Amino acid sequence: MTKHMTMLQLAAVALALLAVSSLSRAQGEADLALASLKFFIEFNEADEDVGVQLLLGGEPYKRLQAFRPDGRKILDVKPRRSLRIQGLSDLFFESAEPGLDDLSMEEFLHRFPEGEYEFETITLDGAEQGGEAMFTHIIPAGPAIVSPQDGDEVDPADTVVTWEQVTQTSEFNPPQQGCSTDGTMGCTIVGYQVIVTREDPLRVYSVDLPADATTVSVPPEFLEPNTEYELEILAIEENDNQTISLLFFKTK
């Protein structure tokens, strides 16, 4: 009888300890915020193609889901086996980018409505981690490249890229509205990115610049004589939407 009572007592103690442990774990697993999150439009004004991109980072997770403003799920990532045990951390993707002849801007924007997109993950410890990205249809115009011009030959020891500041949204998403750098208009330009690429072998020079920039020098150490390069200049709006202007030049 005594032995039987002792076993019941031990079971009760074990249940009590389990309850305390579960309570402590629940109290310690407050919702976590994703360390980084961007969900935005990239429009190539030169090639007239458009898509969306995602940048996301945080504590390692074993599941990722994303939801449109209307609550409909648009993404569900579930790694398996060893990758699930290891966990994911950072994630970048870009969607397909069909040309406007195949998918009009109106159809694309209908496919991705404006509003708050929610991203939720389950960490390796079972905690919820999430964030919201405000998605807008404010698409800046592509920067007007002043120099070099398409097909120009440049001195690899003295190559300077210049462009005009973007002052309005893209004509491909009417009606157009003005852009500023101080938040006084509906479109706010927060910066530019300049990318110079050699295709074979692949070499990339990339620099992020402030909203008042209109020029940058390409390091002579990067450029080689008698070589073709692609030049891209991206205008970036405060909600992360970005538009590319591009051309090709050759070094002497």
Topology of domain 32-135 in CATH is: Immunoglobulin-like (2.60.40)
CA distance 37 to 56: 4
- E strands, the chain, where? 32-33, 36-44, 49-57, 61-67, 73-77, 91-94, 115-123, 128-135, 145-147, 153-154, 159-163, 179-180, 187-198, 203-210, 215-218, 228-237, 242-251
Predicted local distance difference test score (pLDDT) of residue 21: 39
Q: What angle do CA 191, 195, 200 make, to 5 degrees?
A: 170
On the CB side of 101, CA atoms within 13 Å amount to 1
Please report, in tens digits, the pLDDT of each residue of the chain (252 residues total): 444 445 555 455 444 444 443 333 334 443 899 999 999 999 999 999 999 999 999 999 999 999 999 999 999 999 999 999 999 999 999 999 999 999 999 999 999 999 999 999 999 999 999 999 999 999 999 999 999 999 999 999 999 999 999 999 999 999 999 999 999 999 999 999 999 999 999 999 999 999 999 999 999 999 999 999 999 999 999 999 999 999 999 999
Topology of domain 145-251 in CATH is: Immunoglobulin-like (2.60.40)
Looking at the chain, the domain(s) classified CATH 2.60.40.10 span: 145-251
Predicted local distance difference test score (pLDDT) of residue 12: 53
